[in-house]
Structure 1
Amino acid sequence: MSSTKKKELPVILREHAESQFADELAALAETDDRQRPPNWKLSPWAVTTYLMGGTLSNGAVIIPKYVGSRRLMEIAVATLATDRALLLLGVPGTAKTWVSEHLAAAVSGDSTLLVQGTAGTAEEAIRYGWNYAMLLAKGPSLDALVPSPVMRAMTEGRIARVEELTRIPSDVQDTLITILSEKTLPIPELNTEAQATKGFNVIATANNRDKGVNELSSALKRRFNTVVLPPPATVEEEVTIVQQRVASLGRALELPGDAPAIEEIRRIVTIFRELRDGKTEDGKMKLKSPSGTLSTAEAISVVNSGVALAAHFGDGRLKPVDVASSLTGAIIKDPVQDAIVWKEYLETVAKERDDWKALYRACRETL
């Protein structure tokens, strides 16, 4: 007697936005009666609602993906409905990649047409490559051509994403000029071209701390409409972002234990903001700033690491001792100068706050 063992499907660690929020996108499509640009899955209004959150006429609740200025998101969405590409610019941790992914998911239903910019990114990543076995066997042909994500987006009328554009070598960046201005990609080897269909556009992201690494040429800059994503304007905004992302990551990673207390998140966010701004929240004391960016993304990482420690090696409740090591590691990038800044902050600010005593002691023990 034989038995067959059912093969278990792998559990995806992080689903793409269009899969993770498929129910929300479907609910928006169902109630969306506004005009949609060619090949868009939703209208610009619905795309903005998907990003900013809200309650629909059918009662469906859309959770916010971006906490900040609605006007910025409206400008970004409106740009994608024109013939200009969109450049999301900002310091690290301002949700540029997050916004890029969700925009592509809502507009095209596909956020995977992605070029990751690095110093080693070649022209083929933006234009096309070749299947060399087929190329040697049959010579240049459409069958031997391997389209890039950008080329696929052109022919399918979708959104292509280019991450960290200023990390890409300048000569490779300029490959985008013809694509963005003429909406065509020449294929000289085949004496033909790929033409963009309606719905095609590009979202690029860039870190303004990288200015001068591979600065965009003026010709390429003119092809983009730039939207600067600022750090969260208030403590409350940043706390909300950290709380939402930590909860989402906790569900994805199946971390046991309680949700982190809002007070612990607020302390971490306050530390990051004060060190970033070079002054205390009340403005009464000037502070030295460390060399790192201390972004919202890093605050999320600190809290998430603490949640994992509390869940697996504690009682499930996030405590100062759980975040102290990650907090110190996030702040001290330069072992000499940043250590001085952190010690000074602990002694002059954290130590003096009555409800911060446990955090002060836990952080001092890490130094």
Structure 2
Amino acid sequence: MTDTTAPTAVLRAHAEEAYAAELAALAAADERPRPPRWRLSPWAVTTYLLGGTLDDGTEITPKYLGSRRLMEVAVASLATDRALLLLGIPGTAKTWVSEHLAAAISGSSTLVVQGTAGTPEEAMRYGWNYARLLSEGPSRAALVPSPVMRAMELGSLVRIEELTRIPADVQDSLITILSEKHLPIPELDDEVQALQGFNVIATANNRDKGVNDLSSALKRRFNTLVLPLPDTLAQEVEIVRTRVAALGRSLELPADLASLAQIERVVTVFRELRSGVTADQRTTIKSPSATLSTAEAISVMTNGVALAAHFGDGVVRADDVAAGLVGAVVKDPVQDRIVWQEYLETVVKDRAEWTDLYRACRELG
């Protein structure tokens, strides 16, 4: 029998817990001005996101590999009274960036509203403890605050994930909060006024345009920042390598993470299928329906590491990544399979150094 009462390590720690030592080192070395209730200055927050070496030799690992100016704009936006909307296709690190921004600025990334088609207005405003409401009547004690309301009371950041998946009438409950910085409680003839330091980081996918478009009134209350896909093959390979290594450590996968030679192949396949042309610009190819984001490349490689660790000798080979690669590309069993087969025969087959990948993918049918 397994002892379920024994303490165990969590599968994924919150950013403020996983990088507590780095945040503490930055706070100790940070002598720059800090906005009200910020744990770090804007400079230190940006250093935390992009990495660097402090004067005492402490290494800050990069959390985001991309444009420094983009992160500076994001941090500067949060230092104003304007909310921040991170926009981009799925897998461009919007949630990852929002979590680390909240961890560095407020010391907590756990005030989150997860947007879905069924997200109620109570998730943005407040609800009621109905047992207490019936027995005692309307009161502050019977009120159940939302993450947004708690952030206003604490003067901290709150994250709203997948904003465009939330029904339009629920989205618009943010308008007063973002413009007036207070939340009316008409049932009590009262209100909650946001403390300095309060702000909102929202994320939304380009692919969700048209699901629940933001009203023009709500759009005006956000500074919108588009997170792009990595500019170069080398940059995307480094992102995948870094995240796969971190996931491998957290999952305790005994694979040789230093020799993941398959990463460049997977990333090349994804970039070519996304762009509709081969890396040498010589061959035009069809694109599948799948997004083929960097996040999906990380997933393919992590699955390959697990296969190599548990069913191989620990070295990731073409056979280990082929199944995950096919599964990532072929989402539509008819159209995407045609696109994939054409790519295998016109591109992969002609690359002599990819013979093992071609064979492994063909064996999967």
TM-score by length of 1: 0.98
Contact 1:260–1:317 at 8 Å: present in 2 too? no
What does residue 65 of structure 1 align with?
63
TM superposition shift of 1:10: 2.6
Q: Residue 260 and residue 267 in structure 1: after superposition, are their counterparts in 2 closer, same or farther (change >3 A)?
A: farther
C-alpha distance in 2 between matches for 1:252 and 1:76: 29
Percent identical residues: 71
**SS across alignment from 1:349:** helix
What does residue 273 of structure 1 align with?
271
Number of residue-to-residue matches in the alignment:
363
What does residue 325 of structure 2 align with?
327
Contact 2:83–2:221 at 8 Å: present in 1 too? yes
> Which residue among 32, 45, 48 is the counterpart of 2:46?
48
**SS across alignment from 1:225:** strand
What does residue 247 of structure 1 align with?
245
Deviation larger for 76-85 or 125-134: 125-134
C-alpha distance in 2 between matches for 1:177 and 1:244: 39
1:242-299 deviation per Cα after TM superposition (whole angstroms, max 9, x unaligned): 0011011111111112116342000000000000000000101101000110000000
Contact 1:90–1:208 at 8 Å: present in 2 too? yes
What does residue 90 of structure 2 align with?
92
Aligned AA (1:284)? R
What does residue 34 of structure 2 align with?
36
TM superposition shift of 1:7: 5.6
Structure 1 segments, 4+ long, off by >2 Å, are: 5-8, 260-263
Please tell me whether residue 228 in structure 1 is matched to residue 226 in structure 2. yes
TM superposition shift of 1:303: 0.3
What does residue 203 of structure 1 align with?
201
What does residue 155 of structure 1 align with?
153
TM superposition shift of 1:6: 12
What does residue 130 of structure 1 align with?
128
Aligned AA (2:354)? W
Aligned AA (1:311)? A
TM superposition shift of 1:165: 0.2
Contact 2:260–2:316 at 8 Å: present in 1 too? no
What does residue 256 of structure 1 align with?
254
What does residue 356 of structure 1 align with?
354
C-alpha distance in 2 between matches for 1:260 and 1:307: 11
C-alpha distance in 2 between matches for 1:161 and 1:107: 12
Q: Residue 208 and residue 7 in structure 1: after superposition, are their counterparts in 2 closer, same or farther (change >3 A)?
A: closer
C-alpha distance in 2 between matches for 1:10 and 1:126: 33
Aligned AA (2:34)? R
What does residue 141 of structure 1 align with?
139
What does residue 281 of structure 2 align with?
283
C-alpha distance in 1 between matches for 2:289 and 2:97: 26
**SS across alignment from 1:189:** helix
Please tell me whether residue 237 in structure 1 is matched to residue 232 in structure 2. no
1:55-92 deviation per Cα after TM superposition (whole angstroms, max 9, x unaligned): 00110000100000000000000000000000000011
Contact 1:306–1:322 at 8 Å: present in 2 too? yes
C-alpha distance in 1 between matches for 2:56 and 2:147: 36
TM superposition shift of 1:199: 0.3
What does residue 79 of structure 2 align with?
81
Residue correspondence of structure 1 range 308-327 to structure 2 within 5 A: 308-327=306-325
TM-score by length of 2: 0.98
**SS across alignment from 2:322:** helix
Aligned AA (1:106)? A
**SS across alignment from 1:263:** coil
C-alpha distance in 2 between matches for 1:331 and 1:180: 40
C-alpha distance in 2 between matches for 1:62 and 1:260: 20
